[in-house]
Amino acid sequence: MASITHDTIDHVTLQRLVEAGAVRGADVIGQPGGWEVVIKYGMVERALAVRRGAVRIFRHFETLVAYLKEIGISQYTVNAADYDPATPVRKARPDISERMKRAHEAAEYDKWFRAQVEEAIKEADMPGATWISNDDVKAESAKRRKEWAKRAKGSAA
């Protein structure tokens, strides 16, 4: 018999367990205002956590189903006995939501930027790559600035 504990499991650990084929089941349990998921692996059951010790509550069943399906869990049992949609779940702080959104955007930008740098390094290492000296670049930039200044004077007259 599995031992039910108040211990939790985080997303990354759950993902690794699913990939390893170690998850033997999941229970979706109705709570006031939402749904909790309990993962069964080995001889233990652990609730999915949003952070260490804090059980994640999904407000919408569809969101939970999509999450489980995306991670690779498509079969589970549902216990709706204690589900009460009228009981509000403590609303997430908007500043935390915004901070997480910015963190995800930053991670995506970092991924893109690193790919761009890697591509530029590959291009620079190609045998036919043309190198321009710093002095030549500075001279060309100075020439362009003079041309722009002339145009600006001419259009101001």
The answer on pLDDT for 6 being more than 80 is no
Domain 3-79's class? alpha beta
Interval 89-134: pLDDT, tens: 665 566 777 888 888 899 999 999 999 999 999 998 999 988 899 9
Angle at 70 between CA 65 and CA 76, to 5 degrees: 45
Give CA–CA dist 117/122, Å, rounded.
9
- Counting DSSP H helices and E strands in the chain, the numbers are 4, 6
Identify the pLDDT of residue 3. 39
Say which residues have a Cβ less than 8 Å from residue 49's Cβ, sequence separation at least 6: 8, 9, 10, 55, 56
pTM, to two decimals? 0.52
Q: What is the mean pLDDT of residues 27-35?
A: 92
Identify the pLDDT of residue 40. 94
Q: Which tokens sit at 92?
A: 């997430």
Reduced to 3 states (helix: H, G, I; strand: E, B; else coil), residue 56 is: coil
Interval 56-68: pLDDT, tens: 989 889 999 999 9
Identify the pLDDT of residue 1. 34
Q: What is the mean pLDDT of residues 64-80?
A: 93
